[in-house]
Every structure is written in structure tokens, then in C-alpha cells.
Amino acid sequence: MEINIENTTFIIVTYKSEKIIYNCLNSLPENSIKIIIENSQNLNLKKELESKYKNLTVLLNENSGFGTSNNLGIKKCNTQFAYILNPDVTFKKDTFDNLSKSCLNISEFAIISPMHSNKNYPNYKVKNKYDVLNTNILEVDDIDGFSMLLNKNSFQEDNYFDENFFLYLENNDLCLRVKKKNQKIYIITNSYIDHKGGASSDPDLSSKIEYLKNWHWMWSKFYYHHKHDSYIYALFKIFKNLISAFLKSILYSILGNKKKKAFYKARLSGCINGLLMKKSWYRID
């Protein structure tokens, strides 16, 4: 399958990511097509990026979450391949070339990605044993959401990311649905990306973002298992988290540690809202 910069669009969701987005964009092929979904509605950033980079469109959007924002970018994408990237990901000089060359040996796939350069933190999971297609091509069951190249021909228009997720596990949900349809997911092992992790937004918002992450990790964990398994199994999966969050929120309230108390209250709220089948409503300004 032929992948090149003419038939690929890079889609990057940003939220107050001014300090890191330039490194990401500077690492991509210069003439590549790029769409940024800017969820903090920063008009000045839009003007600056569109004037600085070729073939770049910035769409200002409300903070609607990773999955919903990526779906917007995919719908605006006019190429066969949509490459989902986090703003804290950077390419090596030969990343895209090595990816493209390896894909010539693949007849069909739904999702593909280069390999995380830090092998201690792989960006994929292999749960089943697959035939070896090529020394540089590894079939996997799951790919992390910070780097996912989607073959749009393998998806229906409304079957990309589940927009009920706001943060966490939307990529796992997508990969699981792909594998259930017996479609292919690959990692290219001679193509590398760097990922800072946890650096997609302004560090000045770190406390607020930590609360957000704690809330949505619990909510998403319950929703994911309820969707793919059952309510009882989802309850089983978060029961320890529920009890731990309840006890620790009380403990840190007694100890007067407001920060940790807030983190565990956020976890507890995420669990309870999941159990009550409420939407993932928690947001920050």
C-alpha cells in the first residue's frame, strides 16, 4: 500500500499547547498537509501557525475532547490516510520515509504507526500470536493514541472515535473494534517517533489537568468495560479504585492535604458518575 505526503493528512488536537506544537510541526515533512484542531479557540495561535507553515489549516473548536476533535479533523481531511498525532510527538528525519517504504509490503491495514523510540515504553500491545509479515512490520492488537495513522477506506464515516469518551481509552476502544472486524493493525519497527508524554498542554495548568485526568481515567475505565463486556464486569474492574478513592479522600481530608484530597475526590466522582451511567461531563476552563 502506497503512503506519501500527497495522500496523507496530519491531524493534531491542541489545547493550550503553544509551548510544544512548534517542535511537532517542525519535525513533519515540510510540504505535508496538516490540520490542527485548536480546542482553546486561540485566534492568535491560528493566525501565527497558518502564516508560518505550508498546507496548514487551524480549526478553532470548543474543548470537546480528543475523540470528538479528531473526528472533526478526519471529516475535514480529503486524503485517504489520516495521521492522528499528539502535539508532544516529534518525528525523526527518516520517520515518514521508513514508514512509507515498509507500507509497500502491506496489502491492507486499518491502523499503523511508527515505533516509540523509548523501547521501555512501547506504544503498542500484542495479546495474540501473528504471522511475521516482514522484519520491519509487526502486527499488534493495540496502538497508543498519540500516533495512529488511519486508512479511511477501512472505516465508515461515523465509525472512528467514540465521542462519549472525552479523555482516555478512546484509542483502545477504536483498536478493539478494528480487531473484532478482523482488520489489521501494524507497528513499523524501523520507523521511530519521540513522545514526551503528559506534555500536550501548558504546564501552568498542571494541577487542573491532573484533576481532569483522574476524573476521566475512572469514568473511561468503567465506560470502556461496560461497553465491551457488561455492567457487572465494569463494576468489578473499578471496585478497588472506588474504595481506594473513597478512603483516601477521607484520609487526606483529615491530614489537611488539599491537593491529594482533590485528586481522590476527582477519582471518586469519576467512578460514581460512570456507575450512574452519566456522561463524561467534567471539564476545566
Q: For the chain, give the mean pLDDT.
A: 94
pLDDT of residue 214 exceeding 90 = yes
Instruction: Tell me the percentage of the chain whose pLDDT exceeds 70.
Output: 97
Beta pairing partners, 147: 85
> pLDDT tens digits for 110-163?
999 999 999 999 999 999 999 888 889 999 999 999 999 999 999 987 789 999
Mean pLDDT of 276-284: 93
Sign of the alpha-carbon dihedral angle for 254, 258, 261, 265:
positive
Mean pLDDT of 9-29: 95
The one-character DSSP state at 146 is T
Give the DSSP H or E segment for 57.
strand 56-60
Residue with the three cell numbers 473513597 = 246
The whole-number pLDDT of residue 228 equals 97
Question: Could you give the CA distance from residue 255 to residue 249 in angstroms, rounded to a whole number?
Answer: 10
> pLDDT tens digits for 52-93?
999 999 999 998 889 999 999 999 999 999 999 999 999 999
Q: In terms of C-beta density within 10 A (0-12 exposed, 13-18 middle, 19 or more buried), how is residue 8 classed?
A: buried
Question: Could you give the CA distance from residue 161 to residue 159 in angstroms, rounded to a whole number?
Answer: 7
Mean pLDDT of 31-52: 95
The whole-number pLDDT of residue 199 equals 56
Contact 245, 271 (CB under 8 A): yes
> pLDDT tens digits for 241-251?
999 999 999 99
